[in-house]
Amino acid sequence: MGSGLSMNRQTAFWALLAPPLLFVGIFFVVPLLNLFWVSLHGASSSELFGSDLTGENYYRILTDSFYHTIILRTLWAGLSIMLLCLVLGYATAYVIAPLPPRTRLIMLLFLVAPLMVSNVIRAYGWIAILGRQGVVNSMLRSTGLIDGPLLLLNSFEAVAFGLMTILLPYMVVSIINALNAIDRQYIEAAQSLKANPFRTFIEVVWPLSSPGVASGTLLVFLLTLSAYVTITLLGGPRMKLLVSLVFDAVSGFRWPLAAALSFALLALALVVAGLILALLRPGRVQGRG
Amino acid sequence: MRGILIALTGFAYVVVLLPILIVVVTAFSASEFFAFPPKGLSLRWFEAFFASESMRGAFIRSLQIATISSMVATILGTMASMAIARRKGTLFNLVQGLFLAPLIFPAIVLGLSLLIFYKSIGGVPDFLGLVIAHCVLGLPFVVRSVTSSLLAVDPALEEAGQSLKASPIAVFIFIITPLIWPGMLAGGIFAFILSLGELNTALFLTGPGVTTLPIEIFSYLQFQGGQLVIAAASAIQVFMIIAIVLIAERLVGLKRIVRSG
């Protein structure tokens, strides 16, 4: 009877796990391995990729100064957006966190709901505001402050600012979760030891909120890497980041190069994720590091 | 200090909400070109939206893809969560990590890898290819929200069912489901919304004649600029999301919506 029941449970377990596991295996893991395989080949004019195994795509990315420029620019963009989001996001989370639960929830809803709106629409909103015929230019012109339109789009700054506004809610939500998990007694203890608010923040609140800061910055950086549409719409045709090169290679049917560039992008994601975790050590809060 | 913090918070809300608000207001303008505030109000751009075959087609296709992919993701995600929710150990952590990975995995790489994979196996219809991609992306939201619902279920209830000789299927239908359906629904709704607005995999997987609404908006912005019909298209998406959030608030509560973001 006992073994019959456990047999039954075992079957149920596999019946439940097999379909989703197969699905993710076939449509996530296998395509990635396949992508890596493709990246190890040369280009071919008739097939997806050439027949010889080669590291030339990676060699090119590592040695060509054009790629270095783009990778550095990508890192710089990711870093600026991360820092902008961190400052604004922390301030916002710090203000919202102590509010009564119902108010806090509604305040959060106004930040989370925009995440559900497609990024293409949110970027379009910035075009409507900052474009040649946009709100800012027409307002300035009607007041007579300027004669010709200011060029506010198609720049690195436009991309960094626009993406910051698109990704900011992720940072706020991550930090608020961490702030709300902090035991009030720690803060009261610091205050009873006569620490001023600034010291309390630096030595108690900030370290204890590091898991939220880590997950927020990580998420913002990773989403920056993929944001092709926002980068193209706000940065214009010349403001290219790594993801734009992946897309350009695909448009030119250079599949192996596109595949290798994707792995360069993944490597960048891994390195930065490692740095963020090493710097902020979120594990120490959960007692794991 | 307090003043600076509140000013920054206000700025954060303005930069997050203003672009969406401007697009929605612009959609109702009566003029031919963009002007803000709009000179006169009308519904002409909404009419133009539904009159355009490519826009209407993309809109309907987006709805179909979102419906199918979120339903499949809800079923697969619930199965996965049921199997691994209470299990511990490195192997189960790895399996769970695999299900959650698409949450943080650069979606552009997923899109390209699926495109090349489809080509390698001899081609997959664009519609099906998009459904699969959005299902992979929606799955982690379901797994996350159903797992947290399952962890809140008292195991004693399940054992009680078993000791009364209820089959695993009966236990699932009569005991587990009523307790976890808000989690399933929240995950499914989020997968649906995600699919409606998704760009990074759709960029690679849409083909001639088979686009989604966000990609249609993107190509309009890139090549035809200035046309206010895309403001109407955007406004329709925003209204749909507001409607879904209001319905979800009734069904599963505000807390779950905010958390699943």
Q: Helix A242-251 crosses helix B107-120 at what angle (to 10 degrees)?
A: 20
Closest Cα in chain A, distance from residue B218 (Å): 6
Second CATH level (architecture) for the domain B53-260 = Orthogonal Bundle (1.10)
pLDDT for the residue numbered B261: 54
Q: Which of A105, A173, A246 sits opposite B112 (nearest CB)?
A: A246
Average pLDDT estimate for A158-180:
95
* Proportion of chain A above pLDDT 70, given as a percent: 96
- Whether the complex's predicted ipTM is more than 0.90 is answered with yes
Q: Is the pLDDT of residue A21 over 90?
A: yes
Surface-to-core class of residue A111, CB atoms within 10 Å of its CB (0-12 exposed, 13-18 middle, 19+ buried): buried
Of the residues A117, A171, A232, A277, the best mutation for testing chain B's interface (the one with the most B CB atoms within 10 Å of its CB) is A117
Beta bridge partners of B210: B207
CB B229 within 8 A of CB B209: no
SS3 sequence of chain B = CHHHHHHHHHHHHHHHHHHHHHHHHHCCECCCCCCCCCCCECCHHHHHHHHCHHHHHHHHHHHHHHHHHHHHHHHHHHHHHHHHCCCCCHHHHHHHHHHHHHHCCCHHHHHHHHHHHHHHCCCCCHHHHHHHHHHHHHHHHHHHHHHHHHHCCCHHHHHHHHHCCCCHHHHHHHHHHHHHHHHHHHHHHHHHHHHHHCCCCHHHHCECCECCHHHHHHHHHHHCCCCCHHHHHHHHHHHHHHHHHHHHHHHHCHHHHHHHC
Interface test mutation site (partner A, options B4, B117, B189, max chain A beta carbons within 10 A)? B117
- What pLDDT digit, counting tens, does each position of A52-98 carry? 889 999 999 999 999 999 999 999 999 999 999 999 999 999 999 99
Q: Which of A130-134, B78-82, B197-201 has the lowest mean pLDDT?
A: A130-134
The angle at the Cα of A229, spanning B191 to B76, to the nearest 5 degrees, equals: 20
What is the CA A76 to chain-centroid distance, rounded? 14
- What pLDDT does A96 receive? 95
Give the type of residue at A22.
L
In this structure, what are the phi and psi dihedrals at residue B29, rounded to the nearest 5 degrees?
-75, 155
CA distance A205 to chain B (A): 16
d(CA A108, CA B258): 7
Nearest Cα residue in chain A from B25: A125
- Domain boundaries along the sequence of chain B: 1-42, 53-260
Q: Do B200 and A138 touch (CB under 8 A)?
A: no
What pLDDT, on the 0 to 100 scale, is given for residue B260?
Answer: 60
**Alpha carbons A222 and A220: distance in angstroms, whole number:** 6
- pLDDT at A5 > cutoff 60: no
When CB atoms are compared, the residue of A123, A129, A168 closest to B12 is A168
Q: Say which range, A41-50, B100-109, B128-137, B194-203, has the weakest mean pLDDT.
A: A41-50
Predicted local distance difference test score (pLDDT) of residue A266: 96
Give the count of domains, chain A: 1
Q: What is the C-alpha to C-alpha distance for residues B49 and B53, in angstroms, rounded to an integer?
A: 8
B144 has a pLDDT exceeding 90:
yes
Q: Residue B201 and residue B25: Cα distance in Å, rounded?
A: 29
The per-residue pLDDT of chain B, averaged, comes to: 91
Instruction: Answer whether residue A289 shows pLDDT above 50.
Output: no
Chain A residues with beta carbon closer than 8 angstroms to that of B196: 118
Tell me the percentage of chain A whose pLDDT exceeds 90.
67
- CATH number of the domain enclosing A116: 1.10.3720.10
More confident residue, A274 or A1: A274
Question: Chain A contacts of B18, Cβ < 8 Å?
Answer: 125, 129
Smallest Cα distance from A65 to chain B, Å? 23
Q: Which is more confidently placed, A205 or B8?
A: B8
Verify whether the Cβ–Cβ distance B242 to A113 is below 8 Å.
yes
More confident residue, B158 or A6: B158
Smallest Cβ distance to A95: which of B6, B241, B245?
Answer: B6
Q: Cβ of A118 and B1 within 8 Å?
A: no
A13 contact B CB<8A: yes
- One-letter amino acid identity for A47? E
Nearest to A169 by CA among B17, B183, B102: B17
Q: What span, in angstroms and rounded, lies between the C-alpha atoms of B39 and B36?
A: 8
Cis peptide before B19 (omega within 30 of 0): no
Provide the 3-class DSSP secondary structure of residue A53: strand
Per the domain annotation, does A44 fall within a domain? no
Q: Look at B221 and A96 and tell me if their CB atoms are within 8 Å.
A: no
Residue in chain A closest to B77 (alpha carbons) equals A20
Query: Which of A37-41, B24-28, B196-200, B251-255 shows the lowest per-residue confidence on average (mean pLDDT)?
Result: B251-255
Query: Is residue A1 helix, strand or coil?
Result: coil
Give the mean model confidence (pLDDT) for residues B23-51: 87
Asked if A9's CB is within 8 angstroms of B221's CB, the reply is no
B240: its two tokens: 């749909």
Cβ-Cβ contacts under 8 Å, B136 against chain A = 23-24, 27-28
Shortest Cα distance, chain B CAs vs residue A222, angstroms: 6
Q: Which residues of B touch A27 (CB under 8 A)?
A: 114, 117, 132-133, 135-136
- Sign of the Cα torsion B161, B163, B169, B170 reads negative
Say if residues A285 and A215 touch (Cβ distance below 8 Å): no
Report the amino acid identity of residue A77.
Answer: A
From chain B, the residues in CB contact with A17 under 8 A are 79-80, 83-84, 95
Tens digits of residue pLDDT in A96-117 = 999 999 999 999 999 999 999 9
- DSSP letter for A54, please: -
Which residues of A, range 129-158, sit inside 8 Å of B by Cβ?
A: 129, 131, 133-135, 138
- The b/e string for A171-190 (b: 16+ C-beta within 10 A; e otherwise) is bbbbbbbbbeebeeeebeeb
- Higher-pLDDT residue of A9 and A32 is A32
Work out the pLDDT band at A1, boundaries 50, 70, 90: very low
- pLDDT for residue A7 is more than 70: no
Neighbours of A10 (CB within 10 A): 10
Give B158's pLDDT tier (boundaries 50, 70, 90). Answer: confident
Max mean pLDDT range (B72-76, B164-168, B225-229): B72-76
Let me know if residue A178 belongs to a domain.
Answer: yes
pLDDT of residue A286: 61
- Nearest CB to A219: which of B8, B104, B244? B104
pLDDT at position B83 over 70: yes
Asked if the model's pLDDT at residue A2 lies above 70, the reply is no
Q: pLDDT: is A7 or B112 the higher one?
A: B112
Using CB atoms, pick whichever of A129, A250, A265 lies closest to residue B22: A129
Return the number of other C-beta atoms located less than 10 Å from residue B2's C-beta.
8
